[in-house]
Amino acid sequence: MPAIGVLALQGDVREHVAALVAAGATAKPVRRLAEIEAADGLVIPGGESTTLWRLATAFELLDPIKKLIAGGMPAFGSCAGLIMLADRLQDGVAGQQTFGGIDMTARRNAFGRQVDSFEREVTLAMGDDGSGGGDAAPFHAVFIRAPWVAQAGPEVAVLGRDNGRIIAVRQGALLATAFHPELTPDRRIHELFVKMVKGTS
């Protein structure tokens, strides 16, 4: 059973832990480098990307996590976590940095401000191995001041779109969604990530 850490700097930490346990992993909040290094995979929860960046910098975690991800540690980011896994940003604050890893440009607050948050059915086509394709299946998605992927590189598999906008991607051991699957009872995204972690451990 893979051991997955949920980066506990801010955001939906408890909800991700519960979803990972339901998906067949052991999971716990992590905020120290030794805890992160001991995990088989890392979840970067939704929250506020500039706050995540500043806290990761303050706790001297930004560069170490960046190196772990570059070295092959599986990671899943939802909402702000998607932003933190992007190699490039649109509408970032001055000097904002990310962990990177996915060859994509993330647009911050693309769907609007907090008041513009919404829920609706979207379609995901993940394929049996999570590489994209296969039959599109509905997923009830929660978008909270959400980003979208403005541009995805050739190695990035697009797993989901909403009105043509890219909202779910995978590149190798990295997975990201613009929405919050941890806030719904549908565990398919977390089950995919658990499967990804098992495949690398």
Give the residue numbers annotated as catalytic, written as ranges. 79, 180, 182
Continuous segment of H or E residues that includes residue 93? none
Q: Which of 138, 169, 134 is nearest to 154 (CA)?
A: 169
Beta bridge partners of 28: 5
CA atoms 144, 111, 192, 9: torsion sign: negative
Cβ 195 vs Cβ 175: under 8 Å: no
d(CA 64, CA 15): 25
DSSP string, 142-190: EESS--EEEEE-TTPEEEEEETTEEEEEEETTEEEESS-GGGSS--HHH
